[in-house]
Amino acid sequence: MTHEQIGTGKPALVFVYDPNLGVSVSQTEQMNKARDQLGDQAFFLVAQIHTPEGDQLIAAHDASMAELLLFDASGRMIKRQHALKNANELIQWIAVDAP
């Protein structure tokens, strides 16, 4: 998965996905619910560990496993927090900084 959408005019939520952690499945389910509600107002992305693209993003932002990173429309990271956030929390988290 690439992360080219970051900084292209919409907020981008990136989840650092580790398939060995149970919280990863739960968090991606909640991200899908939030995406269903927000539609095209934000990007919902995954940075999977042990992939070239994922490891590059993780290193660039000193991210850790099961961490959520929120980027503003210009690509600046504005928030970070460890999972788990439910769909409503994600929507509120994104909406605070949406254009």
Segment 1-15 mean pLDDT? 89
Q: How far apart are CA 98 and CA 71, in angstroms?
A: 10
pLDDT tier at 2, thresholds 50, 70, 90 = low
Residue 24 predicted with pLDDT over 90: yes
HSE-up of 38 (CA within 13 Å, CB side)? 25
**Cα 20-36-26 angle, rounded to 5 deg:** 20
pTM for the whole thing?
Answer: 0.91
pLDDT at residue 31 greater than cutoff 90: yes
Q: What mean pLDDT do residues 54-81 have?
A: 95
Q: In sequence order, what E strands does the chain have?
A: 12-17, 43-48, 67-71, 77-82
pLDDT of residue 96 exceeding 70? no
N- to C-terminal Cα separation, the chain: 25
DSSP state of 5: T
* Residue 22 binned pLDDT confidence (cut-offs 50, 70, 90): very high
